[in-house]
Structure 1
Amino acid sequence: MHTPYTVDPDITIAATIASSFYVDPAAYALARERIFARTWQWIGDDTDVAEPGSLSPRELLAGCLDEPLLLSRDAGGLLRCLSNVCTHRGNLLVKAPCRGEQIRCSYHSRRFDLAGRMTFMPEFGGARNFPSPADNLPEVPFGQLGSQLFAAVDAAAPLDAFFGDVTARLGWLPLAEFRHDASRDRDFEIDAHWALYVENYLEGLHIPFIHPALNQVLDFRNYRSEIYRYANLQLALAKDGELVFDLPPQSPDHGQRIAAYYYWVFPNLMLNFYPWGLSLNWVQPQGIARTRIAFRTYVWDESKLDAGAGNGLDQVEMEDEEAVQAVQRGVRSRWYQGGRYSPSREQGVHHFHRLLCEFLQPDYANAS
């Protein structure tokens, strides 16, 4: 299938991705296989699989990829990500977090060890060439960043290619020690294409106009973006008197007044680091004009909560959602074909659009 989506690499002359990307059902379906199936998707944290014998079902990008997964930590402590689908007749194996010495299918009692190897199946005595490797549970590509877990169907590059720039910059943070605070979790659904939500996140140009409270905290003149291969960073500096990171000497930003590190990892993950910890935002397409956003809070220093750029996040979200849903209505206009980029403020959006075009190319899967 041919895709017409191209964006010039030179931001000073480039036009944005064609508006048809947001309204064409074929483009949405193509993105599911060429973008989301080929990137690392967040599958939660490791809290409920900390102990040997732990089993925890997960869903790989529910509403879009819809792949049932199973986290399994064996007796030796090794954590694996497996398919949660029985290799006999396709029944879901584990439906809730639990502990066990084996994985047993409730339908016909096929059993697997915690590494996914089939160990027992009743009434198969006459089956030839059985069992075979196909009877074992497929092991799913899987990786970890601190306590955060990621899986992929067929990743275009290793996990480090997507997240290595984050860990290189913030290696001094004890990410594995960040504590999940479920009381601050939020889930929102909006009537907008998932990419419009991402675009809004990726530029600070709108901050003075729709985020008055946040604009009082940030030093907008020195707000800047850094572009990496599969990720980018918006580095937010604070005005005098506002809460900032106490950066150690080994930090490359030591001596700067950093209010927040806003990391985006292609295509749909935001990692917002504040002096108090991490606000993880995960964008989940639910349809061509419907998106769910999950906010998960991981606290490092409780004494710094509710201050600085990391304060009032619910209000910032409401302001963003109102803007994004208005843009969704606008991009459907017959008269809107696309726009231009601010070379100084929209490098992140340009980077995002370039990656979309790259992944949507018909030969990308074979070339990468």
Structure 2
Amino acid sequence: MTTIPIYRVDPDVRRAGTLDAAFYRDEAAYAAALETVFARSWQWIGDLRDVAAPGTLAPRWLLPGSLDEPILLSRDARGQLRCLSNVCTHRGNILVHECTRAEQIRCGYHSRRFDLAGRMTFMPEFQQAECFPSDNDHLVQVPFEDWHGLGFASVKPAAPLAEVFAEMESRIGWLPLRDWRHDPSRDRSFEFDAHWALYVENYLEGLHIPFLHAGLMQTLDFNQYSYELGRYANLQLALAKPGEPAFALPADSIDAGKSVAAYYWWVFPNLMLNFYPWGLSLNQVQPLGPGRTRVVFRSYVGDASRLGTGAGGDLDRVEMEDEAVVVQVQRGVRSRFYRGGRYSPTREQGVHHFHRLLAEHLAD
């Protein structure tokens, strides 16, 4: 049996050292994280507009490239939406391959059939099978939540989605996210040679912004850049320089009176929800191996007239700047001489929070 090191991170950021560099190199730690971190967290599975109509089936993959769990969104005739396993309970065939309208789910291999709630209703040549059907012959119901029109699923969530998103919901729940529209022309997917956690770490600290992102520094008031930590999520609050685009905040917002350029929300372990005056840039980090990562970008536009301006005005350029340095860090953490570093108590609280959560989950 393969064992992984016990990772510990001091709860006091002023004393703490970062994760041991072995974490980024260890195949066993990577495999353990898939089960203890990713399988137990909520993963974004796309927006839900393609399953708006009753009688619709829409297949998804839960965290493609790593968990690779085939799941199926199914809206029955009464309009109830469920998330089911997309694997036939007979011999493991994938059931549905593309979005479709249907009155039942039928396996193309041996014609086992299920209703849209996942209950098996028909199977040929099983008349002599004893104790059949049983609960094991129905499709597994996968934990699933609809958050403002975005779908989230999990293998075995460590906490309810409402708890995970609690701080974010209370802060920006007033935004009409369900009314914003996905803009496919702005879809992006990038793959690069680096450990997934290095990319997350880079996102979670503003320390590098003055040195890597000259364009962002033109729009943000870096002296007012701040961090707020929750249980499973944290916020980087970016205020705008005078004259730069900012949110029109409601009077009862906790941020009323501030010139907010962006809300950079991170949700453990691999989701970034970046809210700008024009809308939402959603980023999902998808591990492909200990040294390979994919990042998927989706844009949901609320005010197209503000696209191309402010902190969210040139996301492709910022991404290229981030990827370039993360790839270099990947090469560095593989050095025989690098063991780990320290945290900036003022600028790297988010990285410390992330490492604490990783250590907590890996210990389970």
Length-normalised TM-score, structure 1: 0.97
> Unpaired runs of 5+ in structure 2?
none
- Find the counterpart in structure 1 of residue 350 from structure 2: 348
Residue by residue, what CA displacement relative to the aligned partner does 1:212-271 show, whole Å, maximum 9, x if unpaired?
011110000000000000000000000001000000112111110000000000000000
- Find the counterpart in structure 1 of residue 224 from structure 2: 222
Aligned equivalents of 1:286, 1:88: Cα separation in 2:
29
Contact residue 222 and residue 237 of structure 1 kept, 8 A: yes
Residue by residue, what CA displacement relative to the aligned partner does 1:90-140 show, whole Å, maximum 9, x if unpaired?
110000000111000111111100000001111111111111111100000
Contact residue 4 and residue 29 of structure 2 kept, 8 A: no
Tell which deviates more after alignment, 230-239 or 140-149.
140-149
- The aligned amino acid for 1:154 is K
* 1:130-279 correspondence runs (5 A): 130-279=132-281
- Find the counterpart in structure 1 of residue 111 from structure 2: 109
Q: Secondary structure at the match of 2:118?
A: coil
Aligned equivalents of 1:341, 1:54: Cα separation in 2:
49
Contact residue 245 and residue 275 of structure 1 kept, 8 A: yes
Q: Secondary structure at the match of 1:198?
A: helix
| Counterpart pick for 1:67 among 66, 69, 81 | 69
- The aligned amino acid for 1:25 is E
| Counterpart pick for 1:308 among 310, 317, 322 | 310
Aligned equivalents of 1:201, 1:296: Cα separation in 2:
17
- The aligned amino acid for 1:142 is F
Aligned equivalents of 1:42, 1:349: Cα separation in 2:
22
- The aligned amino acid for 1:258 is V
- The aligned amino acid for 2:299 is T
Residue 63 (structure 1) shift: 1.0
Aligned equivalents of 2:52, 2:207: Cα separation in 1:
42
Residue by residue, what CA displacement relative to the aligned partner does 1:54-101 show, whole Å, maximum 9, x if unpaired?
100000111111110000001111110000000011110000000111
- Find the counterpart in structure 1 of residue 42 from structure 2: 40
Identity of aligned residues (%): 67
- Find the counterpart in structure 2 of residue 78 from structure 1: 80
- The aligned amino acid for 1:97 is C
- The aligned amino acid for 1:88 is H
Aligned equivalents of 1:76, 1:271: Cα separation in 2:
32
Residue 3 (structure 1) shift: 2.9
Aligned equivalents of 1:109, 1:324: Cα separation in 2:
48
Length-normalised TM-score, structure 2: 0.99
Aligned equivalents of 2:28, 2:134: Cα separation in 1:
38
- Find the counterpart in structure 1 of residue 120 from structure 2: 118
Contact residue 276 and residue 311 of structure 2 kept, 8 A: yes
- The aligned amino acid for 1:157 is A
* 1:44-59 correspondence runs (5 A): 44-59=46-61
Residue by residue, what CA displacement relative to the aligned partner does 1:252-299 show, whole Å, maximum 9, x if unpaired?
111100000000000000000000100000000001000000000000
Q: Secondary structure at the match of 2:330?
A: helix
Q: How well do the aligned residues superpose, as a CA RMSD in angstroms?
A: 0.7
* 1:271-290 correspondence runs (5 A): 271-290=273-292
Q: Secondary structure at the match of 2:39?
A: helix
Aligned equivalents of 1:164, 1:113: Cα separation in 2:
34
Residue 2 (structure 1) shift: 5.3
Aligned equivalents of 1:200, 1:144: Cα separation in 2:
29
Residue 161 (structure 1) shift: 1.6
- Find the counterpart in structure 2 of residue 17 from structure 1: 19
Aligned equivalents of 1:107, 1:25: Cα separation in 2:
36
Q: Secondary structure at the match of 1:344?
A: coil
Contact residue 3 and residue 360 of structure 1 kept, 8 A: no
Give the number of equivalent residue pairs. 362
> Unpaired runs of 5+ in structure 1?
none
- The aligned amino acid for 2:340 is G
- The aligned amino acid for 1:248 is P
Aligned equivalents of 2:338, 2:5: Cα separation in 1:
19
Contact residue 264 and residue 270 of structure 1 kept, 8 A: yes
Aligned equivalents of 1:280, 1:117: Cα separation in 2:
34
Residue 303 (structure 1) shift: 1.2
- The aligned amino acid for 1:117 is R
- The aligned amino acid for 1:311 is G
Aligned equivalents of 2:28, 2:95: Cα separation in 1:
33
| Counterpart pick for 1:358 among 352, 360, 364 | 360
